[in-house]
Structures are given as C-alpha cells and as structure tokens.
Amino acid sequence: MATGIVGEFLDLKAETDADVLAMQCGDFYEFFADDAELVADELDLSISQKSSHGSSYPMAGVPLSELTPYVNALVERGYRVAVADQYETDGDDHAREIVRVVTPGTVLETSDDDARYLAAVVRDEAADSDADGPYGLALADVTTGRFLATTVDDGSDLRAELYRFDPAEVLPGPRVRNDDGLLGAVREDLSGRVTAFDAEAFATGRARHAVREQFGRETTDSVGLDSELAVRAAGAVLSYVEETGAGVLASMTRLTAYGADDRVDVDATTQRNLEITETMRGDADGSLFDTVDHTVTAAGGRLLREWLTRPRRDRETLAARLDAVEALASAALARDRIREVLDDAYDLERLASRTTSGSAGARELLSVRDTLALLPDLADAVAGTPLDDSPAAAVLDRVDRERAADLREELAEALAEDPPKAKTGGGLLKEGYDEELDELIGRHESVKSWLDGLAEREKRRHGLSHVTVDRNKTDGYYIQVGKSVADRVPEGYREIKTLKNSKRFVTDELAEKEREVLRLEEARGELEYELFEALRERVAERAELLQDAGRAIAELDALASLATHAARRDWSRPELTEERRLDVEAGRHPVVEGTTDFVPNDLRLDAERGFLIVTGPNMSGKSTYMRQAALIQLLAQAGSFVPARAAEVGLVDGIYTRVGALDELAQGRSTFMVEMQELSNILHSATEDSLVILDEVGRGTATYDGISIAWAATEYLHNEVRARTLFATHYHELTTLADHLPRVANVHVAVDERDGEVTFLRTVRDGPTNRSYGVHVADLAGVPDPVVSRADEVLGRLREEKAIEARGSRSAGDGDGTGSGAGEVPGGGAGDTQQVVFDLSSGSFAGGDGDEGAAGTGGSASEGSRNGAESGSMAAGSGERAETAETAAPAAADRLDPETRAVIEELSDVDVAETPPVELLSRVQEWQERLD
C-alpha cells in the first residue's frame, strides 16, 4: 500500500466519486497513478515516475497558476475533477483537503459564451409506472446565477425542454434514473453528462428547505411555483451546487417559474428541421441564429439564442420587444452609437458569479468597474433621440444606476490600473486606499530604496568596482563583486558563492535588511489580500445589481441586433392579431434570402383556409416555402421583425414540423418508423392554435399505404386537430380533398415548360399542380442520359395509358440475338421486348399484347398514382399473358403460413375510414413486426 504523497493522494481520491483528482503539492497540482495516465492521454502531459515504498507510480503535474485551463479541458470532455488544496498545520507541516469538485454543470470558466445549464429531473415515485409524466424540471446556469423551474406533462415535453436548454449535466431523480428509455433518449438528444446524485437531495422536505433557504420562505408562492415536483428538482440542483463547492449560491438571487402556457412549444425535431441554432449537418453557420445574430456582447448573444429557441405567447412582452426593435431600426445613428458603447462591455452576469464564488481577481473587478461605467454612456446615447421614450430606454431604466455608480466609484478608488494576475503578491490596490497599507508600502519602499543604493555606496566606501546587489530564491539578497577585486572586500563581507568571474557576499546589515523586507512584503501581501477580499465580498453582496445591469445590457444588445438585421434586410414589423391566421405578403426565407436571388411568395392561412396542400416538382421550392412560413411565425413570437413586405400573425401555442427523416438504423429505427413517430407526436400534441408543417407523409412505404396514411392524417388534422397546416405532397390524389373538406385549399409551385425545357419559377400559386417533373429533376441531378430518356419514354406511355415494352439486355458476344444472358426478360430472347401495363386493380405490372393489353386492365388512375406505384411481377412465358392477381390469389394463399394468413385476414377486416390514424399506425407496426 502506498504511503507518503501518493498514499495521501489515493486516500483523498477514495473520498470522492470524481473521475480525476488534482492535488496541490507546493507550486504544482499533481496527478498520480491512473489519474496521471488519464490526464496525460487527454491533455498531452508528460508522465514521470514517483517512487513510494518500493513501488513506482505514474505522475503528471501542472503549475499552480495553470490548473484552471487544464481542469476546464477535462470537464469539457465530460469528466468530473476534484481539486485538493494544501494548507499548513502545526509544526510547519502540510495537509490537503478536497475543496471543490468541478463538473460539466458547475464549471465557472468556460471556453465559450453560451449558457451552461445544470438540470435536475424528478418524477413522482407514487405515479402509475405506465404513465408518462409529469416531471419536475429545474435548470441553473452557475456561470450567471440564472435559475428556472417548471413542470412538464410528459416525456416528449421533457425532451423538448432539455433539447432547448442543452444542459451540460443532468441529475436524474430516483424514479427517473431507472427509466432506461427516457435516459437513453436524453443521451441521444444531448451532449451533456448524466450524473447520479444523492437520492435524498430530491426528497420533498429537504428540497423545499433548500429552496426556502436560498430564495426565501414565500418565494415559491410569489413566483407561482406550486408544483412539488418542480420544487424537488430545484432543491436537488441547489444541493448539488453546494456539495461540489462551486461557491456560487450567492449569485442565485432569483427563482423563475415558467410554464408551457407562456412559451411556444418548439420540440427537438422542429428545432432541427427549422435549423434554428444549427443546420441539419450540425453546423452553426447557416442557422437562423447565425443569420440574425449581430450582437456585440456574449450576454446579448445568449439572450438572442434564448428568444429564438423559446418563443413567447405573451402578447404584451412581444409588443414591447417589437416597439423597441421598430424604434432602434428607424434610429440608425443612435443604434450604431449604442452598439459602439456595448462593444466595450464585459459579461456582468458571469462576473457576478465569479465574485460570489471567490474566484474573481483584480482584473475581473476592473472589468466590473469598466462595464458599469458604460451605463451613463448608454443613457446618453438614448437621450434626445427617437429612442428616448421607447422600450429601449425602459430597459436601461430597470437598472439602479445610482447604486451602480457608487459601486463603480468604489472600485475605481480601490483598484490599481494594471494589477498583477497573482492575488497575494501585492500591487492590487491603489496608494491612498488604506492608511495601514500605505504605511507598510512606505516602509517597504524605504528598505527597497536602501537596497537599491547599496551597490553605489559600497563602491564609494571601499573603492570597489564591478559591484552589484541582487536577489534570487536560492541566495536571497547578496553583494556580487568581480573576481579581480574580490580580495579587496572589507572584513564584514562573508562569501556565500563563487562563480566563474565573480564572488557573492553577504553582510550582517544586508541580512537584517533582507529579513525586514521579507517581513514587510509578507505583511503587505496579507493585508492587501485581506482588503481585496473584503472589496470583492462587497461586490458579491451586490450580485443582484450586477445581474440587473448585465441583463439590461444583454437585452439592449439583442434588440439592437434584431433591429440591425431588420434594417439591413428590409424586414417588416408583423401585426399580431387575435385571429387564428397567418397572412404573409411577399414572404421570404430568412436564411436563404441572403444566399440566393430569392422569389418572394404570399401565404394565407385563416379560419376559412386553414389547411394548404402544397404540390409541385422536387427542387421547386416547396420545402423552402413551408419552412419560411414556420420561421416567420417563430420570428414574430420571438419579438422580431420578419422577412416579408407585410405579415399578419396570430399567435400559436406550438410549431410542429415533419420534414424529411434522418435514417436512424444505427438506433434500430428505420426512416419510415421515424417518420411515423414524428407524425404520431404531431397528431397527439398539436391543437387548433398550433402551426403544423408536413413535408411529405407516407413516402417511406408502399404507394397505397403511403397515400392511405397521408389521406387519413389530412382528414384527422382537418377535422379533429384543426391546426393551421401546410402539407407538401407528391400524392396528387390528396388535392381532391379540397373539393370535400371546407378548410382545405390547394397551392402549387409554378413551372414554365416550353419546347421541352422546364424552368422552376419558385412562385406559389393557387390550385394543384398537374405534373411532378421527376424525370426532369433526375436529369438535373446528372442521371445518365439513357436512363433519363428511357424514363421519359415510359412516363409518356403511362400518361397515354399504353402498354410499356419491358426491354431485356443483349448478352455480351451474342450479336445474333440467340442465347440467354443476365438481365433478359424471362421467357424472351436477349434483346426481346415484352409489353406490360400497370394493373391498378392488382397493384402490379401485367403482360399484354400492345394497346389491347393495356385496355384490358380495367380502368385507370390519376397520374400521381401511376408515377408513384410500386412495381409488381412481370409476366413469365413468351407470348403468354401473366396470371391476373385474381386468378393467382388462391394459389398464393395456399402457400402462406398460418401467421401471415392471420395478419392478412385482420388487415381485410380493418375499416380504414373508421379507424383513428394513430391506432391504424400502431396496428400497422404490429403487423410488420409479426410478418418480420
């Protein structure tokens, strides 16, 4: 067993559940054993060996002043890092204790400006095990002191909230940590760490006590937090922050309760589909946030991101934001001056957290001073301009500028202009700040002056040349004399070291002065640091003031950013209406308009025209048209101007999208299954006050299955949900629903076709399209000419309802057409053709003899069915007709196993018209599993 330093390290490591321990040893933090190998691998540190009682242990270390970046790097990789500091004991001995555990959710110094949340999730242990929710959720950003709590109804809402905040660390409660399905989904959605924490911290009594101690006994009632689950989650967060030693509880001055009724539901799928903060490829560039973000402060960028990911339903809040954006957009000079001033602002919210944790140095307090000094400049930039009586001015009025000025003045009087990074070496405070300190500094300077003049005095007194007085850690203060005159030094010189060209000496007087200067330096350092800590504590006591000022700066920056973008892109103010409508004149996609010559389009959704079926060719702009509708709605409810000539926007409670599907086979979910799960979520979640965007439904399965699902979903959304909906589809059969359902209307993306050339006009017009132009898109995509030409020929015959000649291939070397080769049509010679026609009644291709065979199929269907129909079997036997589905069915049925036959019988008994879509989808999934 290891003893000594290594033994102490291993004992401390056993006390914590952290992944890594950094233990102070003098001027270094050391890592031993497995921890040393881990940090060396992760951070590219060098490994040495430390011997302990016959054993050798890997060792790696970092200087005392450089620990923070190394710890942050480990935490960014998901590790929890314990820090053990060294302290003196009786007898000049040393001991060490763990003072802090740095975790992904409690790291204070981050490498980016984004919010960094710690989340706790709790569920009622007494609830039905089959029930999904409700859940209590609390979120704290320890870097700013922000603290939120709420209750969500089910797992879907919980995932949406977690995705929206993207916490760096999640603490699951006792019931939640055993829910493998939910935790698996959370890990899939988030990049943060899931950490098991003491179950007792989630207990109702302990959690409520923690919340009352932190925020006051009546806080939960005053902020409307009446959910026991939310209080339990909040209490667990507070306990975790306290236990890890972050020291930021003092910065958590406000508990904010929020609920689903004041936010727009934008679930994780919709956030990805609309590319709000990152593109479908996972890049920040090209997202909505990246496009509209012109903020100049870190806090302003965080707030703008929050507005976009958590749109509001509060009309009063939105009106105030729009008023401010309108005033800032129209006052260009004032807006530019405000942004110029803000560009010098530091992140006051994070600085407040640093002061309360005790980690802020003199440079951080100077940043506080300099940022508070900007408040009068901001007020001057607003005064006497059109902004003077606008909500922009009201933002600044929320800050107690008199108290802010007092704090700024106190810091200005105290802090040196260029303080050192070290907190204990002196030089932090100005002369004149404290009399006792000034006295110590005066005495210290006097001794230093004596030492500075010693060399010249010794030269004059003793006639010596080449004399210097200096100091180092090994020898202390010394007199250095050149070897050529070293034998002439006076009797009181005591030699302490011989160098190549000189000798070093010390005298009793010099030794006494050295002891005096060391005592004065130690006393000055201790007193100055005590004064600095007291100053920092007074700043920490005003953390709420700093947070108010920081939030005002952030809000002004975010509003100016929206105004800047609106002015540059000629966006207009949306009119918020009480009616259930989205009426857009010349709307544009907020991102795409910046990268292409964009064609604006109108859109109208209201009580009479609430469901638009959007048809048109691939690549013609259907998806862009629908996404821009959703983004205009979202921007309006974020308090932003919108990319349109005019827009009348009725507020929604949720925006739901199903746009394409990422293949998730690695997670055991097919593309079609993902599509159906997304559709199911929409049908369950959307209300008549929601906006729904469906870009293709049913494309991932057989044609008739897909049409049936799309048809049933359309009816359900129209008749039951009644949400405002845009539905893009290639199933042209759906366009006939406009003749039967009163709120359904058709729109299409126009195409100009002349002399065989097709041009996509990107213009949306009323009515359905008459063609898909899929072959043309294949040509644009670079499909080989023979394939495109043949597809065009086949399509022409399908349109004319004529038989298609199924061509075989000629075997290599068989120039005479005899023999058989791969790719031949069964029953025919190489290169022969066989006429087939698609039989709509059987859903398969059947053999035929020219047009007569085509005529015998028994009817026709719309062009959309023919284009999308799945291919069946081709007839076998030269010159013979294939068996029809009706004659072949009995023989096929006899060959079926009993389970398959049972599935078919159940399927035959289903009344599609009377079966709810969700139940139908569930049964389809069950049948698929049984058939598999």
What's the token pair of residue 871? Answer: 């291919």
**724-728 and 690-695 as β-strands: parallel, antiparallel, unpaired?**
parallel
91 Cβ neighbours under 8 A, 6+ residues apart? none
Query: Which pLDDT belongs to residue 603?
Result: 96
Q: Is the pLDDT of residue 216 over 80?
A: yes
Per-residue 3-state assignment (H helix, E strand, C coil) for 436-448: HHHHHHHHHHHHH
Phi and psi torsions of 720, nearest 5°: -100, -55
C-alpha span between 330 and 386 (Å, rounded):
8
Range of lowest pLDDT (41-55, 344-358, 557-571, 799-813): 799-813
What's the token pair of residue 27? Answer: 């001027």
SS3 738: helix
Q: How many CB atoms lie within 10 A of CB 554?
A: 27
- pLDDT above 70 covers what percent of the chain? 83
**55-63 and 48-52 as β-strands: parallel, antiparallel, unpaired?**
antiparallel
Q: Is the model more confident about 273 or about 804?
A: 273
Mean pLDDT (whole number) for 442-471:
91
Query: Which pLDDT belongs to residue 415?
Result: 95
Q: Confirm if 584 and 632 have CB atoms less than 8 A apart.
A: yes
Q: Is the pLDDT of residue 382 over 60?
A: yes
Average pLDDT over the chain, rounded to an integer: 84
**55-63 and 757-766 as β-strands: parallel, antiparallel, unpaired?**
unpaired
Q: Is the pLDDT of residue 827 over 70?
A: no
Query: Which pLDDT belongs to residue 669?
Result: 54
Q: Confirm if 494 and 500 have CB atoms less than 8 A apart.
A: no
SS3 117: strand
528 Cβ neighbours under 8 A, 6+ residues apart? 426, 427, 428, 429, 437
Place of tokens 């620990």: 67
Give the residue among 2, 34, 4, 6 at the shortest CA–CA distance from 18: 34
Mean pLDDT (whole number) for 94-110:
90
Q: Is the pLDDT of residue 751 over 80?
A: no
Distances (CA, A) of 260 to 225, 265, 312, 917: 13, 7, 10, 26
Q: Confirm if 543 and 365 have CB atoms less than 8 A apart.
A: no
C-alpha span between 8 and 2 (Å, rounded):
8
Each residue's pLDDT tens digit, 127-137? 777 778 799 99
Give the residue among 625, 652, 622 at the shortest CA–CA distance from 636: 652
Confidence of residue 853 (pLDDT cuts 50, 70, 90): very low
Query: Which pLDDT belongs to residue 485?
Result: 85
- Cβ neighbourhood burial of 677 (10 Å; 0-12, 13-18, 19+): middle
What's the token pair of residue 331? Answer: 């006052």
C-alpha span between 216 and 219 (Å, rounded):
5
Residue ranges of alpha helices (H) inside 244-331 are 268-273, 288-292, 298-309, 315-330
Query: Which pLDDT belongs to residue 214?
Result: 93
Query: Which pLDDT belongs to residue 563?
Result: 97
Each residue's pLDDT tens digit, 619-630? 778 899 999 999
Query: Which pLDDT belongs to residue 281?
Result: 84
C-alpha span between 18 and 593 (Å, rounded):
49
Q: How many CB atoms lie within 10 A of CB 225?
A: 24
Q: Is the pLDDT of residue 293 over 70?
A: yes
What's the token pair of residue 727? Answer: 């539905």
Q: How many CB atoms lie within 10 A of CB 449?
A: 10
Query: Which pLDDT belongs to residue 644?
Result: 97
Asked if the bond preceding 617 is cis, omega within 30° of 0, the reply is no
37 Cβ neighbours under 8 A, 6+ residues apart? 47, 58
Query: Which pLDDT belongs to residue 527?
Result: 93
Each residue's pLDDT tens digit, 390-432? 898 999 999 999 999 999 999 999 999 998 877 777 889 999 9
What's the token pair of residue 485? Answer: 């005159």
pTM, to two decimals: 0.78
C-alpha span between 598 and 600 (Å, rounded):
6
Inter-axis angle of helices 315-330 and 622-638, to 10 degrees? 100
Place of tokens 């508070």: 372
Residue-by-residue DSSP string for 692-721: EEEE-SSTTS-HHHHHHHHHHHHHHIIIII
112 Cβ neighbours under 8 A, 6+ residues apart? none
Q: Is the pLDDT of residue 638 over 70?
A: yes
Confidence of residue 374 (pLDDT cuts 50, 70, 90): very high
What's the token pair of residue 203? Answer: 């207990």
Amino acid 865 reads S
Q: Confirm if 885 and 843 have CB atoms less than 8 A apart.
A: yes
Which DSSP letter does residue 755 get?
T
